[in-house]
Structures are given as C-alpha cells and as structure tokens.
Amino acid sequence: MLAFEIWGKFASFRDPFTISQNISLPIPPKTTVAGMMASILGVENYFDDKAFSDFEYSVIMINPIRKKSFSQNYINDYTSKVQTQLTNLTKEDYKKIGVGFRDKKHPQKPINRELLLNPRYLIMIKDFKYENELSQYLKDKISKFSFYLGNSEFAGNFKFIEIIKTQEVKLKEVKVNSFILENDVSYIDFKEDIRYSSLSFATALDTNRRPISSASVILGSQSISVKELEVYSIETIDKVYYCRFL
C-alpha cells in the first residue's frame, strides 16, 4: 500500500459517464487517479495495461469542498477552419481574417462550468502492480508527464506520504475519514451535523476511453461514523486514518 497527497489552486474532475465538462465531481474518481499515476510513471497508453484498473483506491478530503461556477465560450470546431484561415492570411484577405475561427451561422452560447477551489486530497493505493516504481517517483518528486488535476490547465502538486502500518479492523464504532461504499449505508451512525451525499462514477475505461465499470460511494462533510464495519487502519507519520477501498 502507498499514499500520496495532491493539491492545487483549481481542479475539475469530469465523470466519463457524462458528455461534457460542465460539472465537477467533488473527489478525483478512480479513472482520474489512474491517469495521475500513469503521468508520474510516464506511461502513455495506460488503458492497455490492466494494472491501471485492477488496483484499489481510497480518497480523503483534506480541504473542504469549495466550488466556483463560471461561464465559458467554446470555439466552434476551430480545427476544421485552420487551413482556410492560413490561406486567408497568405492572401492577406483581411475581411475574412477578421471573422476568425468562429462559425457565425452557429454562434456559441456561454457554457457554465464548475471548478474546485484549493482542492487537497490524500490518495491511498492498494494492490498496484507498479507500487515500488511509483513510490520512488513520488519520493523523488518526479513526474515524467505533466501532472494536473483533471484538466491540463489546472497544474497539480504531489508528495509522498509514508505509511508506517496498515491493518484491517472491525471496531464497535469508528470514524471513517474516506468515502464509504453505497452498500455500507446500513452501518452508518447518522449525525445531525453531518451532510451526506451519494456519488457515482466510472472506475475503469476500455482502450477507447469508454466506461466499462462503475461504483457508488457516500461522502460526508465530516468523517462518517460507522458501527461494526470492516475498514483499513492506516498509520502515517502524522495521523491514523480509517478508510474504505474500492
């Protein structure tokens, strides 16, 4: 098992089940974490390697979730007009150059997007084939490809977190720091001051980046109290965390 912390000024985590990037998931889904690990290791076609879907993971929200919505205009299929625009530049046809790449017949409307502000997470990884290699890259603070938080414009940081001891425990009552699985709902000791939310996302993609499996989890605005539920106790230098994995 290994752990690493990720953070940045902004993040946006799109679920592959959706058709747009308008709404951001509050935590990085498993497919995004797989992409992060592939970026650090420098693996380009990681969808062809089952190791990047067979591992288990858990996420702990270190900073509270804060979101910001804004409007953004997208250019209509600008790639289809690049050659035409280059030709106009060569001919010095300034009237056509002034039109730019936008399609005036089908003008774009503003699209609302969501961003996560100052996100910070602790990621736990279990049963990953390249754990030793990834741990060394994390310790050396090396990422072979650019490391970002969901979108390429949101640069991210990461650091290795040393795990001292792990064990599976089943206590009378314990506060789980990570998400819990949807099937764990009967074990929850509900508290009035905690906001609970259900979240579904893809957990594996095929070589064409199409979702082939999914999972549903429950998040809490604070640690979730559960009774008689088997969880992992993970001791780090700073703290002991209780987590569920998927």
**Weakest mean pLDDT among 36-40, 72-76, 166-170, 225-229:** 72-76
What are the residue ranges spanned by the domains of the chain? 2-70+110-243, 74-108
Please answer whether residues 198 and 78 qualify as being in contact, where contact means their C-beta atoms are separated by less than 8 angstroms: no
Say how far apart CA 223 and CA 228 lie, in whole Å.
Answer: 16
Query: Which residue is listed with tokens 């067979």?
Result: 54
* Strand ranges in the chain using DSSP code E only, listed in sequence order: 2-7, 10-11, 56-61, 67-72, 111-117, 120-126, 157-161, 163-170, 174-176, 180-181, 196-205, 211-220, 224-226, 230-236, 240-243
Per cent of the chain over pLDDT 70 is 83
Query: What is residue 50's DSSP assignment?
Result: T
- Encode pLDDT of 23-64 as tens digits: 899 999 999 999 999 999 999 989 999 999 999 999 999 999
Please say if the pLDDT value at position 20 is more than 60.
no
- Mean pLDDT, rounded, of the chain: 88
- Grouping H, G, I as helix, E, B as strand and the rest as coil, residue 16 is coil
Domain 2-70+110-243 has CATH 3.30.70.2660: yes
| Amino acid 80: pLDDT | 54
**Per-residue pLDDT tens digits for 121-147:** 999 999 999 999 999 999 999 999 999
Instruction: Say what the pLDDT of residue 217 is.
Output: 97
158, β-bridge pairs = 6
Higher pLDDT, 87 or 161: 161
Report the distance separating Cα 158 and Cα 11, nearest Å: 14
